[in-house]
Structure 1
Amino acid sequence: MSNLIRVLALSLLALGMFIYPQEVLRSAGEGLTLWWHFVLPALLPFFVLSELLMASGFVHFLGVLLESFMRPVFRLPGKAAFVVAMGYTSGFPMGAVLTAKLRNDKEITREEGERLLAFTNNPSPGFMFGAVASGMLGEPTLGIVLAGSVYLSNLIVGFLFRFYKAAPISQQSSSIPSFRRAWQEMKHAQNRENRSFGQILSDSVKQSTNTVLMVAGFMAIFSVILRLLNLWHVPLLLATLSHRIIQILEIPVLQAFFNGLFEMTLGCQEAIQALSTLNQQVAMLALIMGWGGLSVFAQIAGLISSTDLRFSSFLIARVLHGFIALGLSQIFLSVAKVPTSGLPVRIVDPSTLFWNSWQISALVFLGCMSILSILAIVRFRN
């Protein structure tokens, strides 16, 4: 039955591409334009950096120092702290890339990989601060509310997932590590690495380029799929049917929600246009960004296909993340006392999206690494 549905879906996709060739060309071009101008320069340097840091043994060094923090809180090895920092810095799909690499290298177990995958995939800080807060809402300070809601809710999801197929914490993993043992672990990792620095750099660039090219393909194909679905009025049909059940929400709001289920950027922009008050706009934005969108799901599924990690745990985590982020956003808005009147709706062109994304990502990276360094120093002194 599933094979029949798959064949029918692919047949409809092929039919739509033949019927609307100009729309397919334009939507694929828009997706690749966004990738070329914003995603490629934002992701590629961090992909290369993460590969170099893992090959240098830094992840092993950090892992030993942070074992006594990560294990009790998230039931994860200390090496997972590096994945958390890079995932929060770079956004989708960095967390999945590094999680899959750790699992393929047998650095983490299957259950640990699924726990780690559950809370290390976020929208990038550049997207939240630049594209949504500054570009779409026209209020840069709201980026703090949105990013705080998304990041904190993801940490809560990570803490909840510590109970996911949890094994008892061994005495060895909960004991406080020493700086000397961390240094020795890094040296051992470097000794096991028989490649020269030039080869490591070359391999890092090749692997990182392949990954960002895969992201480009996903962005192009899902831009086409979403355009065809809107040409066939599928989101509108789903919104109309849902409106008969949930009559408190208007059809444009539900249509924006269903578009956000498929693709995050379009869903965020339509949510701002469909909702009139700031509370409602921020709530929908937090929900959509916590969910991530089916285009992101496809990227994650493709990246973990070479591992034995199960996708179901990631799906459950996205649902939890979306609703927790929605609740936290309303709490933060009430505490911040931001006026709840609707902000002017802004139609955003691609040149506005991801404004200052590199600077913001760099600041978040420095902040994450500073926090990890402080935790490591505290553990070392204790």
Structure 2
Amino acid sequence: MNKPKKVVLAYSGGLDTSIILKWLQTEYGCEVVTFTADLGQGEELEPARAKAELLGVKPQNIFIRDVREEFVRDFVFPMFRANAVYEGLYLLGTAIARPLISKHLVEIARETGADAVAHGATGKGNDQVRFELSAYALEPDIKVIAPWREWDLTSRTRLLEFAEANQIPIAKDKRGEAPFSVDANLLHTSSEGKVLEDPSQEAPDYVCQRTVAPEDAPDTPEMVEIGFERGDAVAVNGERLSPAMLLTKLNELGAKHGVGRLDLVEGRYVGMKSRGVYETPGGTILLAAHRGIESITLDRGAAHLKDELMPRYAELIYFGYWFSPEREMLQAAIDRSQEHVSGTVRVKLYKGAASVVARWSDHSLYSEAHVTFEEDAGAYDQQDAAGFIKLNALRLRLLANRDRRLRG
């Protein structure tokens, strides 16, 4: 690859991406532009600006953007319309953030005339794939630099030596190896590595940072009502909120009640299995509520087809194909299914659980007249069921007759 002249780096301001920033300057002799995204990770981002300036980045080349509303509106909510969970459990909190970051990297590259983008994902993980597939889908000729696949800084000791040699500030707690790595955004917190690498050992209590332990949660349940319009949550307890503010509110409620903890061993796209501890309090409530409103507004055929498509849709997001035509095709079908998914769901939060206890909608398909155990005033003729059963049993009876004939 020809040496780039200007690189847009996904920059957190932490030690690793600061080392990458300096390495790009020294290895390629190129100008570096930094992009720091406010995804609701709960950290002050202005120190990233100061650190980038300290490392020689021009002020006009430092980009810090609040993308929380875009993240929830354009990425999280479309995903939740599909009820997407990877391998039956994981709510894709890290995976869904990567295409958004790549989108902004490419946009900033265009704005600044940069010919390359760079990220800090390692060569063992999923994120390298997600960043790069998204970047190439949006800008096919962009150069992508992944320092972890190129440099010889293969240990924490060598990273620290590089930082000290290049006068990169090192926080005192970074001089020893971190007990685990953390990635956070408005949807979830992900913890991996170190003390979590042995899946036979229970994760230490301190790993979970966003939620209280369920056993320490309040002894009194709390009810929350979530309003939906066309498949998207729009209100909490009757108060209309923007997408990001709504998810923030659900996070607060879920965290207090220990909702959304997950200890998972998952199959990475690159082939290995890995163990992670995830906290997704608001997302767990949102998923339960969305399935609750779909249960009365979505036809059985459409609902079952959605459930068949969901694992493929979730896999596409996990693998990094958000900007692929197949994901967009599935999204169009999913969005079509949501036209009447409007109404309100009441969810009970208690000791780590988010349980749907009531749901109602002007678009409901539920008919009490048809399902009642009392007199139904002719709404349903039970004798019709006999012919329905006989017709559906016909092929089974033919099979049984054939098998009996061949045995006999």
What TM-score do you get using the length of structure 2 for normalisation?
Answer: 0.28
Larger relative contact order (Cα-Cα within 8 Å, sequence gap ≥ 6): 1
Q: Determine which structure has the larger helix proportion and give its number.
A: 1
- TM-score normalised by length of structure 1: 0.30
- Structure having the higher strand fraction is 2
